[in-house]
Amino acid sequence: MSNAAMAKPNGEQGQEPETAANGKRQFWALTLGSVGVVYGDIGTSPLYAFREALAHTASREAITEPMVLGVLSLILWSLILIVSIKYVAIVLRADNNGEGGALSLMALARRAMAKRSSIVLGLGILGAALFYGDAVITPAISVLSSVEGLKLVTPIFDPYVVPITMGIILGLFLVQSRGTAKVAKFFGPITAVWFVALAVTGASHIADEPTVLLAFNPVYAVEFLIEHQVVGFIALGSVLLAATGAESLYADLGHFGRKPIQVAWMGLVFPSLTLNYLGQGALVLSNPEAAENPFFLLAPDWALVPMVLLATAATTIASQAVITGAFSLTRQAIQLGIMPRMEIRHTSGEHAGQIYLPRINRLMMIAVIILVLAFQESGRLAAAYGIAITGCMVVTSMLLFIVMRWRWRIPLVAAILIMTPFVAVELAFMTANLLKVLEGGWVPLVMALSLIVVMRTWVTGTRILAEKSRRDSLPLLDVVAMLEKKLPHLVPGTAMFLTSTPNVAPVALMHNLKHNKVLHEQNVIVTIEVAQEPYVDPESRVSVQSLSPHMMLMRVSYGYMESPNLPKALAAARKLGLKYDIMSTSFFLGRRSLRPSMKSGLRPFQNRLYMSLARNASDATEFFQIPSDRVIELGTQMTI
């Protein structure tokens, strides 16, 4: 300790170690929390990844040592290359003011490539659409695979696997509206116990066949692919199941931070997964019949039921993590203008990130139930799972290359050399999964394509309407000048007109002047903008500009991870000179009634789709949290 520190009074001397101790406690709490939320998905992969990868070749020939070592080597090196090096070491550094995920990376790349942002937007939409596919398939395959362990306890449970799975999934989605704050406290400890169980059960069988350790040699992976060719390439699609959830490392960056996620991976998750996969390989080498379900056969007979229960808890937690991720992604998409407004409920008064979207929850629940009923077995869902995962990974790599080249200013050759190995491996995985389109791989493709059409239609339709509004409306400053030359009848109070285009006169203002022929004593044009950053500094959130004695312009900025709250913004505007009494203030909103046009920039089916999305979008009053008893809506008809 320095002399200056030693000279402090006793009371102050204790503060520095205490602060350091609190920092350490918080760090380890975040690390434990990341184990539950970030690694829940990848932690359940041992349930089916090795089994499915081995099944492709074992169905055609007897299981051999090179076959097992080849599959294991592919799995281990996938974890090393894709998860450890690409995501943990590189991707986690591409944070957008601390936030991660496909849309955060998209926003970061759009700022770096302003002139070619439409390409980046397309990649972001593709990544988001594939993530939804992943979020729907994860609960179905994870819970099914864990409940299937009951069949090993006794065949009596065989007819009840699907009903039990349905019950767990229904319960999971039905409790979402209550929030996950209390349940989340147990996520970390339960998942930590799960990883310890993975390590212990796997390590206990490595001695059965120590030659399994040779799987760390990548030569076995290469020889496996060369020897088995087409079948080996198909097996490669299932190998990637071991890396499911890698996107969660990046998506949950803002919740836990880079260091806790990295420490959790290197200190617990990666070693536990490695030991478990090695244990499964050793078990199959010593007893080839165990290949039918090597994961649960690692456990001794007395531990089978507890292992099934623990696996069910772990898969439920993994499912909860992707559901929460889908809620967060949807809010980002709404704020970035990729999807229409939806009802967003905050389930915690302390944590703004804990949200619930009823419409997304309902749609996901229906989709997951349909998948369970349609596929019945986790093995049949494996083909569908891989395409969604590889697609997300390839999109992340492409966006990351843009960020590395145009934001980090890494030389082109260096950026290509860094990213080419990852893209090559991921494209190989994707091609292998595309061979399984008819076996179930069509599911995420259809889902992603449908969502891409919806998102592109919304983005394009909104842009067309904005351009039409600008053409058909008068410039705001011209209207202000005209009003000051010849004021209409003034009425007491304040009128606030919400608009998305602050440079032109709001439709609601023009309708009020035309039909009511009055102007309030104070009029405020309010425009709410969304930044390409996750959060906006509260000090610079609101700006107020006086346009005339009776007209003001207020701009309110939010990050794409924030929920707009207009009353709070108005309270901040008081400090900037905006004087108003909420009891004598009216909020004027324009409501569009859309009609199809033969000259629209959209195809006929997109026209109908856009109008349907617009009709079903959440009310602006609710979305911006405006007092409903102070709102006046003025309608207008527009063609699209």
Q: Tell me: do 177 and 309 sit in the same domain.
A: yes
The bridge status of strand 518-530 relative to strand 551-558 is parallel
Q: Tell me: do 485 and 452 sit in the same domain.
A: no
Q: Tell me: do 504 and 601 sit in the same domain.
A: yes
Using CB atoms within 10 A of its CB, is residue 350 exposed (0-12), middle (13-18) or buried (19+)?
A: exposed
Q: Tell me: do 324 and 225 sit in the same domain.
A: yes
Q: Which two tokens stand for residue 324?
A: 């929460």
Distance CA 375, CA 141 (A): 9
Nearest partner of 238 among 441, 382, 442, 437, judged by Cα: 382
1 within domain boundaries: no
- Write down the pLDDT at residue 280: 96
- Write down the pLDDT at residue 204: 94
Q: Tell me: do 553 and 500 sit in the same domain.
A: yes
234 within domain boundaries: yes
Residue in this structure with the two tokens 């033969």, named with its chain if needed: 598
Which H or E run includes 91?
none
Number of CB atoms found within 10 A of residue 154's CB: 8
Domain carrying residue 175? 26-459
Rounded to the nearest 10 degrees, the angle between the axes of helix 304-335 and helix 15-37 is 100
Number of CB atoms found within 10 A of residue 547's CB: 18
Q: Which two tokens stand for residue 592?
A: 């569009």
Longest dimension (CA), the chain: 94
183 within domain boundaries: yes
Distance CA 156, CA 348 (A): 43
21 within domain boundaries: no
| DSSP one-letter string for 444-473 | HHHHHHHHHHHHHHHHHHHHHHHHHHHHHS
Counting runs of H as helices and runs of E as strands, what totals does the chain give?
27, 8
Which H or E run includes 590?
strand 585-595
Give the CA count within 13 Å in the CB-facing half-sphere of 261. 29
519 within domain boundaries: yes
- Write down the pLDDT at residue 348: 61
Final residue in a domain of this structure, among 436, 459, 482: 459
Contact criterion met (CB below 8 Å) for 545 and 578: no
CA angle 368, 369, 372 (to 5 degrees): 90
Sheet with 542-548: strands ordered across: 542-548, 551-558, 518-530, 489-499, 585-595, 631-639
159 within domain boundaries: yes
CATH code at position 407: 1.20.1740.10
Q: Tell me: do 437 and 482 sit in the same domain.
A: no
Q: Tell me: do 109 and 45 sit in the same domain.
A: yes
- Write down the pLDDT at residue 410: 92
Q: Tell me: do 441 and 526 sit in the same domain.
A: no
Q: Tell me: do 510 and 435 sit in the same domain.
A: no
Residues of the chain with pLDDT under 50: 1-15
Q: Tell me: do 145 and 282 sit in the same domain.
A: yes
Distance CA 534, CA 26 (A): 23
Q: What is the pLDDT of residues 610-636, one digit of tens each?
A: 888 888 888 888 888 888 888 988 777
Final residue in a domain of this structure, among 434, 459, 484: 459
465 within domain boundaries: no
Q: String of b and e for 198-228 (b: at least 16 CB within 10 Å)?
A: bbbbbbbbbeebeebeebeeeebbebbbeeb
* Predicted TM-score of the model (pTM): 0.83
Contact criterion met (CB below 8 Å) for 76 and 219: no
Which H or E run includes 527?
strand 518-530
Distance CA 40, CA 190 (A): 10
C-alpha dist (Å) from residue 605 to 56, 596, 610: 42, 10, 9
Q: Which two tokens stand for residue 33?
A: 């929390």
- Write down the pLDDT at residue 8: 39
Q: Tell me: do 176 and 308 sit in the same domain.
A: yes
Distance CA 101, CA 124 (A): 10
Q: How many domains does the chain have?
A: 2
Contact criterion met (CB below 8 Å) for 550 and 483: yes
Q: Tell me: do 308 and 217 sit in the same domain.
A: yes
Distance CA 387, CA 433 (A): 6
Distance CA 59, CA 207 (A): 26
Q: Rg (Cα) of the chain, in Å, rounded?
A: 28
- Sequence-ordered list of residues with C-beta below 8 angstroms from that of 7, at least 6 positions apart, any chain: none
- Write down the pLDDT at residue 353: 59
Q: String of b and e for 378-408 (b: at least 16 CB within 10 Å)?
A: bbebbbbbbbbbbbbbbbbbbbbbbbbbbee
Distance CA 615, CA 334 (A): 15
Contact criterion met (CB below 8 Å) for 595 and 640: yes
Q: Which two tokens stand for residue 548?
A: 């005339």
Final residue in a domain of this structure, among 459, 492, 527: 459
20 within domain boundaries: no
